[in-house]
Amino acid sequence: MEVSDQARQLQSDALIWDMTLPYTDYGDPELKVAMLRRMAENGFDVVSLTVGGDWMDLPSAIRSIAKERHYFLGRPDTYILIESTDDITRALRENRLAVVFHFQGANPIAHDLAMVEVYYKLGIRHMLMCYNVKTPVGDGCQELTDGGLSRLGADLVKEMNRVGMLVDVAHTGYRTSMDVFDASSEPVIISHANARALCDHTRNVRDDQIKACAASGGVVGIIAFGPVLGDDGKSPVDLLIQHIRYVADLVGPQHVGLALDLIYDQSVSNQTMWNPHFHPRPIPDIPPEEMDLIIEGLLRDGFSEADTRGILGGNWLTVAEKVWK
């Protein structure tokens, strides 16, 4: 695909925010650091890193955060560790990569709601309710049952609302996610999921989940991870644009963002060590080097420049400005 001057200009000056990069230690550490460099070189401005999740207990999660904070704070010429949306503006001005943290699952709170504020102060800005399976909060999207939000989960949503942490229902079971939309007084995001109407995978979300997310003021992050794109003969970039278009037509482009969910070490791309229910398909991930093709694809699909800027990162900034404190 030939890339237009308009697309290249947007890649240069638009805010590009990837809401999900798995960043725990599952592969080659050199490739882990290299992924951030590759993203920065291809126009990414903000990246939200998975530093823990349901597979971690409280001490392990604290150690993981401490390790990553030490790394990024020790490299102030290259990175800014986000505390507020003002840091994003500063990172853009100073040509540094803005980094923010999240958890994929709430088990690191260890049943203690007081930990939510502690984690927020340590840099966790969004947290999934569940990661695929049943937890004390509710059911994940790959659980055998479809139970709703627990009492602990309802209290957790309220505490996250109070603290300013974004409530996130990616990887969360259908009924649990719908209960969360009802329980939250603040926008709820689906940080990384595609449209189930286009790819019938348990990790993708149904139309009423997308509509409920938008009604809350939230954003759905579209994934470039091959297994959830589908497989109908199109290129991975075309499949990604197809999911973006579907969600935008359903609820408006202001409720769509990017959360590429890239695997920094492709030798473990089946994710079987923590996500055994994925079934890889013959669609590869979209690497950060193809961000120009994503932008060109959005423009060719008819998105205006303003809507494209929103999808690339502006929509995440809007919801962060509403919720973060």
Alpha-carbon gap, residue 200 to 217, rounded angstroms: 25
Q: Report, in this order, helix, strand and coil percent for the chain, each rounded to 5.
A: 45, 15, 40
Range of the domain at 255: 5-323
User: How many whole angstroms from its chain centre is CA 187?
Assistant: 15
Q: What are phi and psi of 141, to 5 degrees?
A: -75, -15
Looking at the DSSP bridge assignments, the partners of residue 289 are: none
Q: How many domains does the chain have?
A: 1
Alpha-carbon gap, residue 261 to 323, rounded angstroms: 23
Closest C-alpha among 164, 213, 163 to residue 188? 213
Looking at the DSSP bridge assignments, the partners of residue 205 are: 195
Alpha-carbon gap, residue 246 to 164, rounded angstroms: 30
Closest C-alpha among 198, 30, 120, 173 to residue 222? 198
Please classify residue 274 by burial: count the beta carbons closer than 10 Å to its beta carbon, then call 0-12 exposed, 13-18 middle and 19+ buried.
middle
**Cβ–Cβ < 8 Å for 97, 78:** yes
Alpha-carbon gap, residue 116 to 113, rounded angstroms: 6
Q: Which residue has the tokens 């202001």?
A: 254
Strand, helix or coil for residue 320: helix
**Cβ–Cβ < 8 Å for 140, 132:** yes
Alpha-carbon gap, residue 247 to 27, rounded angstroms: 33
Q: Which two tokens stand for residue 161?
A: 């609302």
Successive 10-residue mean pLDDT values, the chain, 325 residues: 96 98 91 96 98 97 98 98 96 97 98 98 98 96 94 98 98 98 98 96 96 98 90 91 98 98 78 51 82 98 98 98 97
Could you tell me the pTM of the whole model? 0.95
Distances (CA, A) of 151 to 111, 184, 209: 11, 13, 21
Please classify residue 249 by burial: count the beta carbons closer than 10 Å to its beta carbon, then call 0-12 exposed, 13-18 middle and 19+ buried.
exposed
Q: Give me the count of residues in the chain.
A: 325
Spatial neighbors of 66 by CB under 8 A, at least 6 apart, are none
Alpha-carbon gap, residue 217 to 186, rounded angstroms: 8
Give the H or E element holding residue 103: strand 97-104
Task: Write the CATH number for 290.
Answer: 3.20.20.140
Q: What are phi and psi of 152, to 5 degrees?
A: -60, -45
Strand, helix or coil for residue 206: coil
